[in-house]
Structure 1
Amino acid sequence: LQEEPFVMLAENVLGKPKKFQGFSVDVMDALSKSLGFSYEIFMPADLSYGLPQADGTWSGMIGELLNKRADVAISALTITPERESVVDFTKRYMDYSVGVAARRPADSAGLFALLSPLEPATWACLGLAVGLVGLLVYLLNRVTPRREPRHSPSLPASLWLVYGSFMQQGPELSSSSLSARLVMGVWWLFAFIVVSSYTASLTALLTINRMDPPIRQGD
């Protein structure tokens, strides 16, 4: 059967007789030259590939093979278990697959995509925690006896010190109080865990395309 580009019937040009051509015909030509045989191409009477009939016979090209009216069938013939049970196939040289094309959803990364890995309540709690820990560090530095008062960070400096831990930035001024340093050590560990979780979630959000299928149901 004719199916481009496997089997085609060439047009009659300048009085030349029509002839079959195509990829499958080229394969047969190469085999005939290599093995030394000649062949003649004809079309099945019903112009079909071949389907099983109710009486157990086959139609189309498969029927021509089973009835010994043809030795080889060349076409874009699909290999099925039913056909494999009655005829032999060569190695397949082309695979077909069936797919459904759907509209691609819009990109979900918007202006506030950097805030999406955490819930709004989580951001609010983190902001409140920065303020409370910054105030605690400032008070611990104020109430703890120290040898050099000028090295005690102010309240804005304490808040900046606590906030800088989330940015993975070291402080310019260190706390003179041992208790304040202990609090900052625990806070740095907490900030490391939060930043690591946030970075992993943001990376997954920006690199993995979460497809929202536009097809919900089929009627």
Structure 2
Amino acid sequence: MANGSYVYSGYLYDIWKLLAGNLNLQYRMVEPEGWGYGNRHPNGTWSGMVGELFYGRADVALTWLLDRPDRSSVVDYIHIAIEENYDAFHIVGGTEDVPQTAAQMAGSLLRPLHAHVWWAVLGVLLVLSVALRVVIYFNQGYGERIQTVTEMSLGSCLFYNYMSLVGQSWAIVPTSSSARIVTIISWMINIIIVNSFTANLISDLAVVTVHRPIGSLREFTEQPGWKLAMQSGYGVVNDWQTSPDQYEREIYRRISSHDGVIELGDAQSFWLTTQPKVMTFIDIKQLKLKVGDAACSLVPLLDQPAKLTPNYFVIAKGQPALRRLMYAELLRISELGLMSHLKLNRFSRIENMCTSSSDTKAMSLGNTLASIALVPLGVALGLAIAVLENLWARAVTKRHVTGAADRQHFIVMKLVS
């Protein structure tokens, strides 16, 4: 406050007041000398809350800490979970509604199925078409009409299988049992494919696609201008030092040398996490408490999924009686539901902070253009095929006329001779 005094509030302080009141604990709040949870430096010294306990400046740390072997060697944990964190790397994301290239626009209609699936569909159409043609050909005179055998060529069989894929009926239906079995299988497979495509297409149109400028720690370390934001004292930093992943080791190097690192402490520093080219390691719930709705612009990094980690109160070593009392009372508070009630009161406003106000997403301009593009494509293909068919018909007619004239000339010559 302006006069130099402090006002304490929050979920942890609510639990502590309840705990201290029930145990009749006399206490004095002490401001820590530095920010952070508690991390061991290469020279063996400790910082943050763990350092306050280890060096005797405090008896209880009013924070939640992940249980780590290195910390357990210098402080004692009260193993009743106070909170669960989902610490992960986050970056500012966005949405892209308009494809940048014609290939992306055309690909929006193919996106509901993987490329391997489309190739499999093409293979299925070819195999079924060949099988249908073979059984019809060998059944001529044995259950299949001559007209069917003549009209259902290999090209016609391929076209009919494609018609079943798009839900169109056939002008000719085979009469032999073997051909009808192939036809039924074709319809069954195509129904499954169409339903899968439709379901995935609806999902693709309804779910907002988030664009990520980077998707991995490798891209973060290789692209220039990126900064890392995190609170000091994260124990996982020590794991990055000896990690088999070279990019995690690179992040440790940047933290230890303060190379492009934003240390989150005061309220103003947390707003830097919403800026471009800033990657933040944090539980998004904590960021919501600091910056509100602005935290909704952040999305997790793809190659580093969040991990659930239970967190606990910690006390200084050498106080077994206090540890037993606090454990028993925290267990009682938890079993009575008081801890859940306090958590709900403090965090209820952020539970649905980033949920969309609408149930569906409007169809994007890119998907609309991709659908409309089928119209001129169909018209162009239709005209091109019509021209080719006309040229082919003229060539065939001219050949027939020429052949007829040659035969007539031969007959005339024969009569004259």
| Range class of TM-score, shorter chain | 0.5 to 0.7
1:19 aligns to 2:14 (yes or no): no
User: RMSD of the alignment, in Å?
Assistant: 5.0
The structure 1 residue matched to 2:177, chosen from 175, 178, 185, is 185
Partner of 1:50: 38
The structure 1 residue matched to 2:86, chosen from 86, 93, 96, is 96
Structure 1 gap ranges (5+): 1-10, 143-152, 176-183
For 1:188, give the aligned amino acid: R
Q: Deviations over 1:20-79 (max 9, x none)?
A: 111111111010111111211112223443222455442332122123331110125444
More strand by share: 2
Contact 2:132 2:179 in 1 (8 A): no
Bigger CA radius of gyration: 1
Contact 2:50 2:75 in 1 (8 A): yes
For 1:189, give the aligned amino acid: I
For 2:109, give the aligned amino acid: G
Partner of 1:110: 109
For 2:87, give the aligned amino acid: S
Contact 1:117 1:198 in 2 (8 A): no
More helix by share: 2
- TM-score where L is the length of structure 1: 0.55
Cα 1:56–1:32 shift into 2, 3 Å? same
Cα displacement (A) at 1:121: 6.5
Partner of 1:31: 19
CA distance, structure 1, for counterparts of residue 135 and residue 119 of structure 2? 23
Cα 1:157–1:187 shift into 2, 3 Å? closer
Partner of 1:181: none
- TM-score where L is the length of structure 2: 0.33
- What percent identity do the matched residue pairs reach? 20
Partner of 2:55: 67
Cα 1:93–1:59 shift into 2, 3 Å? same
Cα displacement (A) at 1:122: 5.4
Partner of 1:86: 74
Contact 2:136 2:174 in 1 (8 A): no
Partner of 1:148: none
For 2:39, give the aligned amino acid: L
CA distance, structure 2, for counterparts of residue 96 and residue 122 of structure 1? 45
Contact 1:118 1:198 in 2 (8 A): no
Q: Greater relative contact order (Cα 8 A, min sep 6): structure 1 or 2? A: 2
Cα 1:109–1:37 shift into 2, 3 Å? same
DSSP-derived class of the 1:94 partner: strand
For 2:147, give the aligned amino acid: L
